[in-house]
Structure 1
Amino acid sequence: MGKGTGSFGKRRNKTHTLCVRCGRRSFHLQKSRCGSCGYPSARIRKYNWSVKAIRRKTIGTGRMRYLRHLPRRFKSGFREAENEVKPGQTYFRCFLQVICCNGISCLF
């Protein structure tokens, strides 16, 4: 039997399943190796001869849940909102509020 029409009826078993690291259907069941990310290897599979593949998986192609807020936080010097000086309020007054909120007794 050749590789043609008669052989296609016998192809009913899946060789690849979902990878737990990259989520693609590239994890080879018999080899126990992902063809996309290289799991279970500790290093992510990446080759410089495939520039397009690197471009598809690089930083900025996903949600960037942490990274997308960094430029704004950097501009404010990584100050948190609870220590913020509100409009019409002096810095000293704001400082006293922070001290009072932290459990230290305050006369003001």
Structure 2
Amino acid sequence: MTKGTSSFGKRHNKTHVLCRRCDNWGEKAKRRKTTGSGRMRTLKLVARKFKNGFQSGAPSGARGAKATASS
């Protein structure tokens, strides 16, 4: 289906937009809610994991060298 007849013309264009003064009216709200304004439980670890190539599992010798040597 089309969006009306061709006689609609400019009626599909936005004729009212925010003025210069109101352009960034939500700037402070974005700042309050953006990434980094909270705890970032997971995201703050991602940079470190990325640097190490997202390794998984415990590092070698993590359980202690003594545990393997004494048994």
If the length of structure 1 is used for normalisation, what is the TM-score? 0.32
Answer 1 or 2: which has greater strand percent: 1
Answer 1 or 2: which has greater helix percent: 2
